[in-house]
């Protein structure tokens, strides 16, 4: 985006290698940041841009907290503002995506979703006054329409936020007391959605997704313009119907007409756009985790499940013990709104809280959006509870005692969330004091993975196309999909599999994952077709034939795989977790021996960890007395991480010879003349060192 801000990145050559793939994230956020920072950084210095952007998540997170504070102050008062702001600042559900350098669309989605919620509540508050003078100015229509589009441009999954807001606006429309007010309100809603349509249309109308339908709501597609177009026409029809006819003279009749028009629009769209039915299927599969890949993604897991097992640990850490009290607080909040006029904004908040609590129970990725309403509703509950205590207690001493009890209860409820920061705070304190940072399993695992990505960056040949998508990389890296983003962005190398999984290409993902179940020869053929040069294996994932041999026999017998790196054990990761193998053409050593005689080659070498490993392979001379050995390790010019003996040792019977192999022969699969082990040649050169 920085190198060519004017041209959208359609295909990322570093994803789904070798064909490249289109990331499912919309480019709006990336291109917007490039457009803002480009004049100050320039395309020749992308590293400087990264140094700036690592501060974006905590800045957006802090801005979201300020928005929560302002929204609570406007809706519930100053006490609730401080409580909700404090909760939003402390809850890991909000903080998780706001960490330094965690440049993810979810932190921006939470910020813009909170803006949308605040704008919609302010909009409903003005309309709730039910007078012509109180109708919001036109700029408010534009602002709300822009936000409706922007939340989808940041993340298409925010369609839930759009549905909740639009639903609240429809209910407000149906509840206005007079036909003229309803007509004007419908006209304003039509304008808002028309603005949203105009904003999103240039970004979404021409998107094409090989693995998603043209109307899929999972990605930026024709679905979003279709949605806003239909809402514009729906509200415009309501406005015209109630302005130019006597229909809708009562609130009840207008509500019935609203439902009828909605059903008519849905029916007509189902007939005119049958692809929309497929879109609903895409959305359900994604939300219900019916896809095989989505079922294995941690943020797609329900908040009360981890690794397919029920657990409350994550919910308590991210939302505190109050997570299980929140339904009662939400119920009390909703009950307080019954039979009250002018509380449409609060009802929107209650609906928002309910929808995103349920969404978080289905998928953890919605927790940061849910945490906003969570903080607001809990703040209301605490203030309401304290007001009830004050009303029932006239004694100052009792009030102080009650305040202390409430404060103690709050600290107790927050204990799981606050304790989750203990490791990080301790590490920060130790680092500031110049001490060694204590290790943990999570930190050690992250260190191992970062070391691996940095090693790939520093010790493998550079590839084209990192900052210029018009260039294509020479080779790719096959690694567990969970390492994809890390290798692409930190290791600066193209990957066959990535954290996007099958979302960027189901056929490619299935084919690449299927290699793990093939035998060595078939897997090697598939890897070569994918132009893979480096293969990253993880120990506990080594279940298929290829992975098992690489870890169990490594590197004793596989003639096309050269061990070039193994991860360093840490305190909590006690064995080498990852191994990196380079796929080489291997030197072809050909020579003569007694027909039927076995010829063996072996060499010892050191790994990057200083361990000694041994490679050995053997073959049998044919009837003509010819043999060929395939050798993947060079003795001359080998990579720095491979420290081989000076020569191979070749033996046939009691005969022994030394052989040197150059790196070029290994990389290009060149022929190398091997020793002559024929009986009549026993005396002479069989014991001398050959070189190739």
- Rounded distance, CA 140 to CA 169, Å? 14
In this prediction, residue 478 carries a pLDDT of: 95
Q: Which two tokens stand for residue 562?
A: 């050269």
- Structure-derived torsion over alpha carbons of residues 244, 249, 255, 257, reported in degrees to the nearest 10: -40
Q: Please state which of the four CATH numbers 1.20.120.1200, 3.40.50.450, 3.40.50.2300, 3.40.50.12610 is assigned to the domain occupying 441-583.
A: 3.40.50.12610
Helix axes 105-127, 56-75, angle to 10 degrees: 20
**470: CB partners within 8 A, 6+ apart:** none
Instruction: List pLDDT tens digits, range 198-231.
Output: 999 998 888 887 777 788 888 888 899 999 999 9
Q: Which two tokens stand for residue 163?
A: 């549905």
Residue 130 · residue 176 · CB < 8 Å: yes
Residue 195 · residue 146 · CB < 8 Å: yes
pLDDT < 70 regions, the chain: 1-9, 42-44, 127-139, 246-248, 284-296, 393-397, 399, 438, 540-543, 552-557, 679-692
Helix axes 396-419, 367-392, angle to 10 degrees: 160
- Is residue 304 exposed (0-12), middle (13-18) or buried (19+ Cβ within 10 Å)? middle
Range(s) of the chain covered by CATH 2.60.40.3390: 587-691
Residue 159 · residue 359 · CB < 8 Å: no
| CA dihedral sign, ordered 382, 388, 390, 395 | negative
In this prediction, residue 133 carries a pLDDT of: 45
Q: Quick check: helix, strand or coil at residue 658?
A: strand
Range(s) of the chain covered by CATH 3.40.50.12610: 441-583
Q: Which two tokens stand for residue 164?
A: 């909740």
Q: Please state which of the four CATH numbers 1.20.140.90, 1.10.1060.10, 2.60.40.3390, 3.40.140.10 is assigned to the domain occupying 587-691.
A: 2.60.40.3390
Q: Which helix (H) or strand (E) is 132 found in, with range?
A: none
Strand partners, 534: 477, 582
Q: Quick check: helix, strand or coil at residue 116?
A: helix
Cis peptide before 20 (omega within 30 of 0): no
Strand partners, 619: 599
- Rounded distance, CA 672 to CA 494, Å? 32
């Amino acid at each position: 985006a920085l190198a060519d801000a004017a041209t959208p990145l359609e295909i990322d050559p570093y994803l789904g290698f070798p064909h490249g793939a289109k990331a499912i994230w919309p480019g709006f956020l990336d291109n917007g940041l490039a457009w803002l920072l480009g004049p100050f950084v320039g395309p020749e210095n992308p590293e400087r841009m990264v140094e700036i952007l690592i501060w974006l998540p905590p800045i957006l997170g802090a801005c979201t907290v300020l928005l929560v504070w302002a929204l609570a102050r406007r809706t519930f008062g100053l006490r609730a503002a401080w409580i909700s702001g404090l909760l939003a600042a402390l809850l890991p559900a909000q903080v998780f995506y706001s960490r330094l350098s965690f440049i993810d669309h979810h932190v921006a989605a939470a910020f813009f979703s909170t803006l949308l919620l605040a704008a919609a509540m302010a909009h409903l508050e003005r309309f709730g006054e039910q007078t012509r003078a109180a109708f919001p100015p036109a700029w408010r229509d534009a602002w709300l329409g822009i936000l409706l589009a922007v939340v989808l441009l940041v993340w298409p999954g925010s369609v839930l936020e759009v549905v909740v807001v639009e639903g609240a606006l429809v209910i407000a429309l149906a509840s206005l007391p007079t036909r003229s007010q309803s007509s004007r309100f419908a006209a304003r809603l039509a304008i808002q959605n028309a603005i949203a349509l105009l904003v999103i249309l240039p970004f979404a109308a021409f998107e094409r997704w090989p693995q998603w339908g043209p109307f899929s709501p999972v990605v930026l597609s024709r679905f979003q313009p279709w949605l806003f177009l239909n809402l514009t026409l729906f509200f415009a029809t309501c406005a015209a119907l109630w302005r130019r006819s006597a229909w809708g003279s009562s609130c009840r009749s207008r509500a019935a007409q609203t439902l009828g028009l909605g059903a008519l629009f849905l029916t007509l769209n189902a007939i005119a756009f049958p692809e929309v039915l497929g879109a609903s299927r895409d959305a359900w599969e994604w939300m219900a985790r019916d896809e095989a890949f989505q079922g294995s993604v941690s943020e797609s897991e329900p908040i009360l499940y981890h690794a397919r097992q029920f657990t409350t640990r994550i919910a308590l850490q991210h939302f505190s013990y109050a997570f299980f009290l929140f339904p009662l607080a939400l119920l009390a909040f909703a009950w307080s709104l019954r039979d009250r006029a002018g509380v449409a904004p609060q009802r929107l908040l209650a609906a928002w809280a309910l929808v995103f609590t349920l969404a978080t129970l289905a998928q953890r990725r919605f927790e940061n959006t849910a945490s906003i309403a969570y903080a607001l509703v809990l703040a209301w509950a605490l203030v309401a509870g304290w007001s009830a205590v004050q009303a029932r207690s006239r004694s100052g001493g009792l009030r102080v005692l009650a305040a202390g009890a409430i404060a103690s209860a709050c600290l107790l409820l927050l204990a799981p969330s606050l304790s989750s920061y203990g490791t990080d705070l301790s590490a920060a304190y130790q680092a500031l004091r110049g001490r060694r940072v204590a290790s943990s399993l999570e930190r050690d695992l992250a260190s191992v993975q970062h070391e691996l990505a940095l090693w790939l960056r520093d010790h493998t040949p550079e590839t084209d196309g990192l900052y210029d998508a018009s260039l294509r990389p020479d080779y790719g890296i096959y690694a567990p999909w969970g390492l994809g983003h890390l290798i692409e962005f930190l290791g600066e190398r193209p990957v066959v599999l990535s954290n996007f999984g099958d979302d960027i290409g189901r056929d490619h993902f299935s084919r690449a994952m299927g290699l793990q179940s093939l035998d060595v020869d078939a897997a090697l053929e598939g890897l070569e077709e994918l132009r893979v040069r480096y293969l990253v294996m993880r120990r506990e994932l080594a279940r298929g034939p290829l992975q098992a041999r690489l870890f169990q026999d490594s590197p004793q017998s596989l003639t096309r795989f050269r061990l070039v790196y193994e991860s360093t054990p840490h305190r909590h990761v006690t064995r080498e977790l990852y191994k990196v193998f380079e796929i080489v053409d291997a030197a072809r050593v050909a020579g003569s021996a007694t027909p039927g005689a076995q010829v063996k080659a072996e060499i010892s070498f050191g790994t990057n960890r200083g361990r000694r490993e041994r490679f050995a392979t053997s073959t049998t001379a044919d009837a003509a007395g010819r043999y060929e050995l395939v050798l993947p390790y060079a003795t001359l010019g080998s990579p720095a991480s491979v420290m081989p003996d000076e020569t191979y040792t070749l033996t046939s019977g009691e005969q022994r010879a030394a052989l040197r192999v150059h790196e070029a022969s290994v990389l290009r699969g060149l022929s190398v003349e091997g020793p002559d082990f024929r009986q009549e040649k026993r005396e002479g050169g069989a014991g001398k060192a050959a070189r190739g």
